[in-house]
Structure 1
């Protein structure tokens, strides 16, 4: 089984290798999958279920380590660990723990599938995932989506959305974004900034296809410079221009893109702050962000949170959540830095 773990570990290291990661969940030292599997089995069999042990073990192991534990559990108990956890847990804790038993790409693919399956579309989730993931993350999500659901992500998105909103999401799913370059092309930066201005604020109406192609095909470092340069042409910055020029889901999508190009971790920190402090904390949003980012950049999200909202994310979780849900979130965030 160690072999499987090594392969999975390498895979996760190679995905988006050019993007530094800031995980809060890192490989557990002195890892012993058999010992962990025994602890999980005992915790599930305990009268009333020992949730604390399940939280302690699974929030402190990476996905590849959890996979090893699941193999060891199946050898011991002769049953599937995910099914056993599903039977033993409920509510918000169950959502988090079952989310942790998926890889980051599997979890993201499941979020997208959940947002477009059945009657009506959960645009909020669809926009958040597709507009905030890097090109390399989206490449992996597409592959995993086909493996898990035997469906094509592009076709599913096209079948569930319409108009310019659909065109933007499809452009992102097609993963044509350029890789960051060590050469800064000032001429191209100026050209793109001018094109964004001339396709929007300068004219009556908006030439949306121009915005879509620039925002879905240029590298992130290039776009950051484009938005800076844009201020030389437009009396409004890019976010203000989006609000003035387009409406509805298209506006929301462009705003998420621009916020993520400018500072992705601040975007997630703001979403968490809003979700935690809204009436009846929006647990779905909190779960989605913390589970999907704990092995990616949650450490940096925590740091942006503290800088921008004056208290730590951990303190906010203590104030706005309770019980096992609070414990599992704190387990994934790790100690305050």
Structure 2
């Protein structure tokens, strides 16, 4: 998927110059927010890490702490998110979703369903280093039942590689037998097959399932399951079909709630995908919702927060 991000490394980059520019934007009376947001959205994450190091060397201060003391609200949250390494941003998002009263299952599902195997292994390792706790223990401590089983499988990051021609038909049949064909649902079959096969293999299984049952696997999951299990199975199926399409839908829902914007989701996806596949997410968004991501962000957010998101979006597909 290389090169499908909207944020690129700046050529002729100089970390010291950028650190000085940021220092200047923050010192004295008032903060030059425009200078900060324009500079940081025009640098890759790796470059932002170098700016952070240069800032400490030149000024003996932590750049992120300085930004936090100068900025506020959603704009501050977004800028601080841009300053974290991608894996650290995922780890912090997961930790925040777990700690405190109740667990934000939606965050766990979105991250664990949409990240690839290597990313998940990296997240588990970094979580342990950062908090001296096991991510799996923390996830399972608060969640039970079939949702817990599925999240544990995703955390194993151990999907079979490639397409197993010999099991496409039997996997489709097993899913059909587990849901449509029986009274009640054999959730374990859904969990095992959807949790352990590669995306390429699953796409073939979904085609075979369609021939067997006469409808899409998503429809069966909607009918046969409920609650958190339904959410995680749908997320896994959608990600097997297309991660950008799944994340476009998550973005749409984050702004289409009527009850105001789910800024945490909006920030999480815009930041975490800005160097991976945000161009594809934009295209899928346009295709699915007959409006552009740019337009929706513009209508839904305000001020420097809005400006920063639009710079990350980097174009309108109107």
Alignment correspondent of 1:214: 193
For 1:213-252, list aligned pairs within 5 A: 213-252=192-231
* Structure 1 position 336, deviation (Å): 3.4
Q: Which moved more, 1:214-223 or 1:204-213?
A: 204-213
Alignment correspondent of 2:147: 165
Q: Distance in 1 between matches of 2:314 and 2:216?
A: 36
Q: Distance in 1 between matches of 2:2 and 2:198?
A: 16
Q: Quick check: 1:49 aligned with 2:31?
A: yes
Q: Distance in 2 between matches of 1:85 and 1:185?
A: 50
Alignment correspondent of 2:63: 81
Q: Quick check: 1:191 aligned with 2:170?
A: yes
Alignment correspondent of 2:283: 303
Q: Does structure 2 conserve the Cα–Cα contact (< 8 Å) formed by 1:302 and 1:312?
A: yes
* Structure 1 position 274, deviation (Å): 2.3
Alignment correspondent of 2:310: 330
* Deviation string, structure 1 residues 273-310 (Cα, Å, up to 9, x no partner): 22223222221221111011112211110111122223
Identify if the C-alpha distance between structure 1 residues 21 and 155 changes in structure 2 by more than 3 Å, giving closer, same or farther: farther
Given candidates 268, 271, 281, the residue that maps to 2:250 is 271
Q: Does structure 1 conserve the Cα–Cα contact (< 8 Å) formed by 2:218 and 2:234?
A: yes
Give 3-state SS (helix, strand or coil) of 2:230's partner.
helix
Alignment correspondent of 2:74: 92
For 1:1-40, list aligned pairs within 5 A: 20=2, 22-40=4-22
Give 3-state SS (helix, strand or coil) of 1:105's partner.
helix
Alignment correspondent of 2:158: 176
Q: Does structure 2 conserve the Cα–Cα contact (< 8 Å) formed by 1:43 and 1:51?
A: yes
Q: Which runs of 5+ in 2 are unaligned?
A: none
Q: Does structure 2 conserve the Cα–Cα contact (< 8 Å) formed by 1:277 and 1:320?
A: no
Given candidates 90, 105, 111, the residue that maps to 1:123 is 105
* Structure 1 position 130, deviation (Å): 1.3
Given candidates 137, 155, 163, the residue that maps to 1:155 is 137
Q: Does structure 1 conserve the Cα–Cα contact (< 8 Å) formed by 2:49 and 2:85?
A: no
Q: Does structure 2 conserve the Cα–Cα contact (< 8 Å) formed by 1:272 and 1:285?
A: yes
Give 3-state SS (helix, strand or coil) of 2:242's partner.
helix
Identify if the C-alpha distance between structure 1 residues 117 and 21 changes in structure 2 by more than 3 Å, giving closer, same or farther: farther
Alignment correspondent of 2:299: 319
Across the aligned residues of Structure 1 and Structure 2, the Cα RMSD in angstroms comes to 1.4
Q: Distance in 1 between matches of 2:212 and 2:78?
A: 46
Q: Which moved more, 1:31-40 or 1:55-64?
A: 55-64
The number of residue pairs the alignment matches comes to: 316
Where has structure 1 moved over 3 Å in runs of 4 or more? none
* Structure 1 position 56, deviation (Å): 0.8
Q: Does structure 1 conserve the Cα–Cα contact (< 8 Å) formed by 2:41 and 2:312?
A: yes
